[in-house]
Structure 1
Amino acid sequence: MPILSDPSAGTDRFDPDEIHRPIVTVGIAIAEVRKIEIDFHRHRKGQFLLVQQGALSCEVEEGLWIVPPRSAIWIPGGALHAVKTTGALEGYNAFVDPDFCARLPKLCCAVSVSPLLRELLIRSARLPPLYEEGGAESRLVMVLLDEIASARAEDLHLPMPSDQRLRRIVELMIDCPADRGTMDVWAGRAGLSERSLARLIARETGMSFSRWRQQLGVMLAVKWLAGGASIKQVASDLGYESLPSFVTMFRKAIGVSPGRYMAERHTVR
């Protein structure tokens, strides 16, 4: 398959649903540091998107995912989704026919990528679109399918509310993540009482306001670190008064420090 240099427009665009094979894999290579947005769309085939270098965000039906290096996102067939990237990106897209998705997750999820899974994606991307069925190439994509099905899920998901007042708060927080306003302040900005805000966000996201805001901070931190920002800069941009307090929050949420997390992502395995 050809490598996509701009998945959002132009002659690089292709329709995976028109290629009648169980799995079709295509590479992505965006060398320029520029913003690319693929608006909400859907396709019949499921999509497994590995990020090898860089990072992207993906919104899928009331959920937001951040995908850092060495991770991937699974988007079931038919799910409405949009993708954004703001820098250089390298990765692979595997589109899976619905007839072969029985063992794959029914809902969108982020997963870690093993060295074997990564190599299988690279190998399958070199196959012709209409590879021979019943032979070695067909067996290769079946092993790829097995590895996708067994990939370990990661907690890089942020539930997105549908209530327009809450969506406004989300937009303001993403635009100004350093704003450490209290829950009462944010409720006032949305024209709600503090109690109403607490009730609404718990009902629509399953999280408390403070837990939801912390998860947003973790995801933005992962995205910025993957884009090359320093830990100190990320802590400042998120409004933390000290670097240790940010590192402590990140370690509690992810399990490792931000420095170790990104070092593992960029280590050749």
Structure 2
Amino acid sequence: MPEIRHTPEAPTRTQALAPGERASPHTVTTTTRSSYAGSGVLAVTTDAGTWFAPGTRAIWVPAGCVHAHRAHGHLDLHLLGLPADTNPLGLDAPTVLAVSPLLRELILACTRGPHDDTPEQLRLRAVLLDQLRASPQQAVQLPRPHRPSARGRLRPPAS
């Protein structure tokens, strides 16, 4: 992935992306991130492959992982930034997670509300981390082809 942006911290926030819109390759070193599609389908691509998440899934991206986002359909993207040492699943690679109705509401509440350390926000985050720990991992990934000729054919057209 050429021209990689480096961001020290991944903020917790929401972001709307138009169909086909992309977030350029970037890495975040001090936070891990859970990305959830409130609408549309999210694709996260790394050198290892591409992971897909509709509204019933989230994608866990560990700190230091170079990745890019792409929207399939209108994407209401909810990004949850957590300290790098907060890794409730102990994962070191992107992973798709099942999102229960409770986990969905926790993600929405944490990404839409104030992003401070009030007692209420800390309790919400603690329950959210409990729910992430209990979330089953889903194999919704397309691995990157090993043959150079196949990799070239799978690249999306330049925009």
Q: TM-score range by the shorter chain?
A: 0.7 to 0.9
Equivalent in 125, 148, 154 of residue 170 of structure 1: 154
Cα distance per residue 1:123-149 (max 9 Å; x no partner): 2124323323xx232121111111112
Partner of 2:3: none
Q: Confirm or deny that 1:17 pairs with 2:9.
A: yes
Q: Confirm or deny that 1:47 pairs with 2:47.
A: no
Q: State the TM-score, normalizing by the size of structure 2.
A: 0.81
Q: State the TM-score, normalizing by the size of structure 1.
A: 0.50
Partner of 1:59: 45
Partner of 2:137: 153
Deviation at 1:86, TM superposition (A): 4.1
Partner of 1:97: 83
Q: Which has the higher helix share?
A: 1
Query: Matches of 1:167 and 1:104 in 2, distance apart?
Result: 30
Equivalent in 109, 112, 120 of residue 106 of structure 2: 120
Cα distance per residue 1:22-53 (max 9 Å; x no partner): xx5322334xx543111111002111011121
Q: Which amino acid aligns with 2:35?
A: L
SS of the residue 1:42 aligns to: strand
Alignment RMSD: 2.3
Q: Confirm or deny that 1:139 pairs with 2:123.
A: yes
The structure having more radius of gyration, on CA atoms, is 1
Query: Matches of 1:142 and 1:16 in 2, distance apart?
Result: 23
Q: Which runs of 5+ in 2 are unaligned?
A: 1-6
Q: Which amino acid aligns with 2:26?
A: H
Instruction: Confirm or deny: 8 A CA contact 2:13 2:78 kept in the other structure.
Output: yes
Flag as ranges the 4+ runs of structure 1 deviating above 3 A: none
Query: Matches of 1:67 and 1:103 in 2, distance apart?
Result: 18
Question: What number of residue pairs does the alignment pair up?
Answer: 150
SS of the residue 2:93 aligns to: coil
Q: Which amino acid aligns with 1:28?
A: Q
Q: Confirm or deny that 1:130 pairs with 2:116.
A: yes
Q: Which has the higher strand share?
A: 2
Q: Which runs of 5+ in 1 are unaligned?
A: 1-14, 19-23, 176-269
